[in-house]
């Protein structure tokens, strides 16, 4: 079996189980994927495959290093690539092999990795869920950060201090999502629950590690 597959997030909807239970699901259009590179312990020090999502893309949209990399593998039309470690029991994939959505079955457990939505510059209350100060009686301290360090000692701000700043656009992994339905004809995968990233964003679906 394949260790995972690449795709795009389409959006959310809901489906009904045979017993009438409503299940919120995320639609993922995954595959077809192709093995662009195979890494081996003897050469690279570990066992992994690099998958590429096959989709229509203009050649001018792919830079020269990536074009040469894909040419060595004998594939084209790949913009999004990602690497997956091989574990015991996985297929011995070789360069040029295809990975399709049929590798997954309902009730399988998967981890979905994506880049979260960007929220821009946000304050402490939204970014770190700080309580904030009093809202009335002329406090003039509502959503301000307050003290971020002592003066005499240590006379500096420690790295990692929670402050306002850019929020989102980070790699997020959602673990142990259940595969609800698989549509091999349209390369669609329905997973229970929410998935990080905006609609149309790239995601990596791998078999659950835990």
Distance CA 131, CA 151 (A): 24
Domain segments of the chain as ranges: 4-139+162-207
Q: Which fold has domain 4-139+162-207?
A: Elongation Factor Tu (Ef-tu); domain 3 (2.40.30)
Per-residue pLDDT band for 157 (boundaries 50, 70, 90) equals very high
Q: What is the pTM of this model?
A: 0.84
**Peptide bond before residue 195 is cis, with ω within 30 degrees of 0:** no
Determine the average pLDDT of the residues in 177-206: 93
Distance CA 70, CA 49 (A): 14
What does the pLDDT look like over 137-153, one tens digit per residue? Answer: 999 899 998 889 899 99
**Peptide bond before residue 117 is cis, with ω within 30 degrees of 0:** no
Determine the average pLDDT of the residues in 51-66: 86
**Which of 4, 28, 196 lies closest to 115 in space, CA to CA?**
196
Give the N- to C-terminal CA distance of the chain in Å, as an integer: 17
pLDDT computed for residue 204 by the predictor: 94
Determine the average pLDDT of the residues in 47-63: 86
Distance CA 14, CA 27 (A): 10
Pick the more confident residue, 120 or 92: 120
Residue showing tokens 């997954």: 104
What does the pLDDT look like over 105-122, one tens digit per residue? Answer: 999 999 999 999 999 999
Does 38 have pLDDT greater than 80?
Answer: yes
């Amino acid at each position: 079996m394949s260790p995972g597959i690449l795709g795009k997030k389409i959006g959310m909807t809901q489906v009904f189980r045979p017993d009438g239970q409503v299940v919120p699901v995320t639609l993922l259009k995954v595959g077809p994927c192709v093995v662009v590179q195979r890494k081996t312990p003897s050469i690279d020090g570990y066992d992994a495959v690099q998958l590429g999502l096959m989709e229509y893309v203009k050649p001018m949209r792919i830079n020269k290093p990536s074009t040469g990399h894909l040419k060595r593998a004998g594939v084209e039309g790949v913009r999004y690539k990602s690497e997956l470690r091989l574990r015991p029991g996985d297929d011995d994939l070789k360069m040029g092999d295809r990975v399709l959505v049929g590798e997954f079955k309902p009730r399988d457990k998967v981890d979905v990795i994506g880049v979260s939505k960007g929220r821009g510059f946000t304050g402490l209350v939204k970014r770190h869920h700080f309580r904030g100060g009093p809202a009335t009686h002329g406090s003039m301290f509502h959503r301000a950060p307050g003290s971020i360090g002592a003066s005499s000692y240590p006379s500096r701000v420690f790295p990692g201090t929670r402050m306002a700043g850019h929020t989102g656009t980070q790699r997020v992994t959602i673990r142990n999502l259940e595969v609800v339905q698989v549509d091999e004809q349209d390369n669609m995968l329905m997973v229970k629950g929410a998935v990080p990233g905006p609609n149309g964003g790239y995601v990596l679906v791998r078999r659950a590690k835990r």
